[in-house]
Amino acid sequence: MLTVHHLGKSQSERIVWLCEELGIPYELKRYTRDPVTILAPAEYKALHPIGAAPVITDGDLVLAESGAIIDYIIAKYGNGRLVLRPDDPDFAQFLYWFHFANGTLQAGMGRLMILNRLKLADDNPMLVATRGACRPRLRSGQCEGRLG
Ligand SMILES: N[C@@H](CCC(=O)N[C@@H](CS)C(=O)NCC(=O)O)C(=O)O
């Protein structure tokens, strides 16, 4: 049985969303962040050496890394849904947006979220550099343009 180990307010939200979208059976095991540190509880960190959400288990398999989990669930349980084949005219664009989400969008948003929490001075060089690298991509309207 597929189990989604779900840490609230984390990237595992996407795995729950995927399972719901596919309408597949799965068990949802919820974990709550430490109220002081806002980090995952020790029980969650013990699931996989990466110590980060999301994590799924499926029989003896313990799998982390959201992109790998999404690929695994779609390949194993998707019955051809939510994926394009190489002969589809949109195949390259499908790959681009799939990898853009984790490789660029999430990475940039994550860095900005952490730096914003530190309440650094507005001219802090690390904040300025991160904003410079991330915001143009987030503001470019690229996502809105694609979504229409
Ligand atoms: N590249 C990893 C990143 C995983 C990650 O950083 N997860 C964060 C939450 S979004 C986490 O669990 N951090 C540890 C913590 O909050 O204690 C993935 O896509 O799965």
Over residues 59-79, the pLDDT tens digits come to 999 999 999 999 999 999 999
- The model's pTM is 0.89
Name residues contacting ligand 1 (CB within 6 A): 7, 10-11, 39-40, 52-54, 65-66, 102
Q: Is 90 exceeded by the pLDDT of residue 107?
A: no
pLDDT of residue 117: 87
Q: What is the rounded average pLDDT of the residues 82-89? A: 97
Q: What is the rounded average pLDDT of the residues 14-30? A: 98
pLDDT of residue 112: 86
Q: Which of 25-29, 81-85, 109-113 has the lowest mean pLDDT?
A: 109-113
Q: Using alpha carbons, list the distances in angstroms from residue 133 to 72, 103, 104, 139.
A: 31, 14, 10, 11
Q: Is 90 exceeded by the pLDDT of residue 135?
A: no
Name the closest-CA residue to atom 14, ligand 1: 52
41-73 core/surface letters (b: 16 or more CB in 10 A; e: else): eeebbebbeeebbbbbbbeeeeebbbeebbebb
Burial class (CB in 10 A: 0-12, 13-18, 19+), 5: buried
Name the closest-CA residue to atom 6, ligand 1: 52
The rounded percent of the chain whose pLDDT value lies above 90 is 70
What is the atom index within ligand 1 of the atom nearest the CA of 38? 16
